[in-house]
Amino acid sequence: MKPTFITVLKKSVFFSICFSFHSVFAQNVGINATGAKADGSAMLDISAANKGLLVPRIPFLTGINDAVTIKEPAHSLLIYTKIEGPNGQEEGYYYNSGDEILPVWVRLSTTVPNPTSGWLLEGNAGTNPGVNFLGTIDNQEIIFRQNNEKIGGGYTRAAH
């Protein structure tokens, strides 16, 4: 029996729909000036010779557990903001390492030495002994290691 035009049309439409759904769900997005396809391992692949990515800028978060400024922030959400820290307002890139209900905003480290971000291998300048120190801020001992073996420390101070 010879297929009718309607039967062929129905099959064509069916296969077209099937293949178009497959390609919709299997796509990733490439944003570039060359028209290059996105890398298969990335959902979003952005490349440019002279432009960068501008991350959302939030003027200020009230603290590392701020769950109000950004409603239900997704786990791993990346923003640029200021958060009140021990050295005043600490501006930089932060990501949510918590969840939507209990966010924990963690500042990304930078490779450029910042005198307020930690102790440097070549020394620090402008330190204040009332604020800057090596040690802990809880009642836990400090341990010094070399080659992952304890070489000093282990001293604790009795709680008052």
Report yes or no on 25 lying in a domain: yes
Residues 125-151: tens digit of each pLDDT: 777 888 777 777 778 888 888 888 888
Contact, 154 vs 141, CB < 8 A? yes
**Does the pLDDT at position 100 exceed 90?**
yes
Mean pLDDT of 50-62: 91
**Does the pLDDT at position 57 exceed 80?**
yes
Find all residues with CB under 8 Å of 92, minimum gap 6, and list them.
80, 81, 107, 108, 110
Contact, 38 vs 30, CB < 8 A? yes
- The dihedrals phi and psi of 2, each to the nearest 5 degrees, come to -80, 130
* pLDDT of res. 19: 58
Please indicate, yes or no, whether residues 62 and 103 belong to a single structural domain of this protein: yes
* pLDDT of res. 86: 62
What number of helices (H) and strands (E) belong to the chain? 1, 7
Mean pLDDT of 30-38: 90
**Does the pLDDT at position 21 exceed 60?**
no
Report yes or no on 19 lying in a domain: yes
* pLDDT of res. 69: 94
Please indicate, yes or no, whether residues 39 and 21 belong to a single structural domain of this protein: yes
User: Can you give the pTM of this predicted structure?
Assistant: 0.53
Find all residues with CB under 8 Å of 87, minimum gap 6, and list them.
116, 131
Find all residues with CB under 8 Å of 28, minimum gap 6, and list them.
38, 39, 40, 42, 43, 44, 45
Domain span holding position 21: 5-46
Give the total number of structural domains in the chain: 2
- Cα(92)–Cα(121) distance, integer angstroms: 22
Q: What is the DSSP letter of 65?
A: T
* pLDDT of res. 73: 94
Find all residues with CB under 8 Å of 45, minimum gap 6, and list them.
28, 29, 30, 31, 32, 38, 39
Please indicate, yes or no, whether residues 62 and 102 belong to a single structural domain of this protein: yes
Report yes or no on 142 lying in a domain: no
